[in-house]
Amino acid sequence: VAVVGIFVCVLKSDEDRALADATAMAALLREDNLLLQEASLSDVLTGLRNRFALRRDYSGYAESGASLHVMMVDLDNFKGINDAYGHETGDLVLKDVGSILLGTFGPECSYRYGGDEFLVIASDWTDDEFDAACKRMRGQMESLSIGADGESVLFSGGYVCGSPRLPADLRLLMRQAD
């Protein structure tokens, strides 16, 4: 009986240790999963949200009924920048644009939509607030330059305001802004 009792105590101790190890590993896995989820929603180069994040956020924007300002910004002749100055310089330009958008509109509104295309979706901003933010962004973008000769970074963009009720309404706003 004593041997069985000792054996049961050893098994119980092993079980407690295994449970503690499993709990610790589960906590580490949760942390890793959160990091992976965040990484999957962010553009690694610019720090902006990516298209995967846009797909996740899309229905919330489309069905909220909130007033949205939707803006598309496109870097003009970006291929020419990469060809003339190299992809490393092109990447720096994209990072600079990402920083400007993050600083102006915040991470919750700013997306890298494509290679040199950016999207801003601002919910519940007044027209005056959004216009002022666009003016700040434009001033910062106009001060960007490339290379030793200080060639300007050219860009174009447009925005619209509306209150989508359906996903198709948000797609229409994005097309109009583009």
Q: Which residues are catalytic?
A: 116
* Cα gap 125→100, rounded to integer Å: 18
- Decide: 50 and 43 in contact? Cβ < 8 Å: yes
Q: Computed from CA positions of residues 132, 137, 140, 143, in that sequence, does the dihedral angle turn out positive or negative?
A: negative
Task: Locate 1 and state its tokens.
Answer: 């009986």
3 state DSSP class of 3? helix
CB-side neighbour CA atoms (13 Å) of 90: 15
Q: Which residues contact 116 (CB under 8 A, 6 or more apart)?
A: 74, 75, 78, 94
* Cα gap 124→156, rounded to integer Å: 24
Could you tell me where the DSSP H helices lie in 42-77?
51-64
H helix and E strand count, the chain: 6, 6
Task: Locate 73 and state its tokens.
Answer: 């910004």
